[in-house]
Amino acid sequence: MSFRVNQDRLGFELDRFARIGASSEGGVARLAFSPEEREALGQMESLLKAEGLATRRDAIGNLFGRREGAAPGLPALRVGSHLDTVPDGGRFDGALGVIAGLEVVRVLREQGIQTRHPIEVVAFVGEEAARFGMGCLGSRATVGTLNLPRLLAARDLRGISGAEALRQAGLAPEALPSAAQKPREIAAFLELHIEQGRVLEAAQKAIGIVTDVANYTRLHVEVIGRADHSGTTPMPLRRDALAAASEMVLAVEETVTALGQAPSVGTVGVLRVDPGAVNVIPGRAAFEVDVRDIDFDRKARIAQRIQERIAAIAERRGVEVQVAIPSDGHPVPLSATVVETIQKTCEDLDIPAQKMVSGAGHDAMHIAPFAPAGMIFVPSREGRSHSRLEWTDLADLVPGVEVLLETLLQLDKKTTDH
């Protein structure tokens, strides 16, 4: 079976969007609600309009392009992802899924295919948590699960609040609740994304069919010891917050390794030391723990055990410890119907595929409790992502877009009342 997706056209569009917010070193920076994200949304809107789609923006700035279906009154089959990036990010994370949506509607027009359901290409805003510490802002707004007061009050590194950033992007913060939609407006949502890991590359599979999206528990740990002179305080008299925190960081690694199974992971990626001087014993150390799993109970057991270990280390070393849990999310299973449809499509197209779990969060996980949602992964070279080194060869992207297109057509044939 020959592919209908146009590889050159796909490459041309990826290049076009990689130039928006490009750095001289080859990275891309389009932060949530930034002028660069706005420019990318504007360009995508023009391209969708040129394909004859009716476009609209909602109150948080999400872009929708709609191609009407033949059967009146059916909910839309949605396809897309996000156009924002982390600072110095890559050209595929997010953009691929939206550009793939554009390619799908281009193929439908070329081939004269009329679907029963309307097809909507969507670009959700603010998927990356890099600017305000909260991610998937646009997709969560559409399903009414965005914590609005928290977003409006959050501040970026320059001290700009979420409310100010929205206004700078031409949006009215007070109108945000109106972005929430109704489940009956969506027949299904499909997101094509790079894997951002090494599973597919190692298994030499072209496609990953995502069955579940792991969610995280975050622990914020504050260790309080005593800042003393590093020259005059004998070792037995010290209450060194950093030495205690170091032992706790290793305990996180040991605990996850001992209690977890394949999808369980635990990481400490942030550590702050106070006062941070070469001749002062650290009086305070704060670190963040990120535990992820697709099994909520196992994740809870791991988090519980980590807290016990931290408390024991603090007691033995005579330091105080405070643990806060700012996030404790439930893992999200994706739609079994959509998973089966993607799998059948890969078999029909003779594309090597495997089912897998997503360790990273995505827009699709927020849509999933609301409407049938599925994700298709393509391999990432060396698993690099959130980096300018992110790469997938064009020839490896094409099967992903083809599977996306065919899955959409298969879902269109099924009755999708939910």
Q: Which residues bind Zn ion (CB under 5 A)?
A: 93-94
Would you call 136 helix, strand, or coil by DSSP? coil
Peptide bond into 183 cis (omega under 30): no
CB of 83 or CB of 313, closer to Zn ion = 83
Q: Nearest distance from residue 193's CB to Zn ion, in Å?
A: 6
Q: Nearest distance from residue 90's CB to Zn ion, in Å?
A: 10
Tokens 């992502």: give the residue.
Answer: 385
Q: Nearest distance from residue 82's CB to Zn ion, in Å?
A: 6
Q: Nearest distance from residue 70's CB to Zn ion, in Å?
A: 32
Tokens 């005593």: give the residue.
Answer: 226
Give φ, ψ of 24 to 5 degrees. -65, -20
Residues 6 or more apart whose CB falls under 8 angstroms from that of 202 comprise: none
Q: Nearest distance from residue 61's CB to Zn ion, in Å?
A: 17
Rounded to the nearest 10°, the torsion over CA 83, 89, 93, 94 is -10
Q: Nearest distance from residue 362's CB to Zn ion, in Å?
A: 6
HSE-up of 149 (CA within 13 Å, CB side)? 0
- The answer to whether 101 touches 400, Cβ cutoff 8 Å, is no
The C-alpha atoms of residue 138 and residue 180 are separated, in whole angstroms, by: 10
- The answer to whether 382 touches 202, Cβ cutoff 8 Å, is no
CB of 93 or CB of 195, closer to Zn ion = 93
CB of 93 or CB of 103, closer to Zn ion = 93
Residue 317 bridge partners (DSSP): none
CB of 76 or CB of 130, closer to Zn ion = 130
The C-alpha atoms of residue 322 and residue 310 are separated, in whole angstroms, by: 10
HSE-up of 89 (CA within 13 Å, CB side)? 27
Q: Nearest distance from residue 418's CB to Zn ion, in Å?
A: 25
CB of 37 or CB of 93, closer to Zn ion = 93
Q: Nearest distance from residue 409's CB to Zn ion, in Å?
A: 24
CB of 58 or CB of 128, closer to Zn ion = 128
Three-state SS sequence of 12-34: HHHHHHHCCCECCCCCECCCCCC
CB of 96 or CB of 303, closer to Zn ion = 96
Q: Nearest distance from residue 257's CB to Zn ion, in Å?
A: 28
- Across the chain, how many H-helices and E-strands are there? 12, 13
**Number of C-beta neighbours around residue 279 at 10 A:** 7
CB of 191 or CB of 240, closer to Zn ion = 191
CB of 60 or CB of 313, closer to Zn ion = 60
CA terminus-to-terminus distance, the chain: 32
The C-alpha atoms of residue 201 and residue 379 are separated, in whole angstroms, by: 6
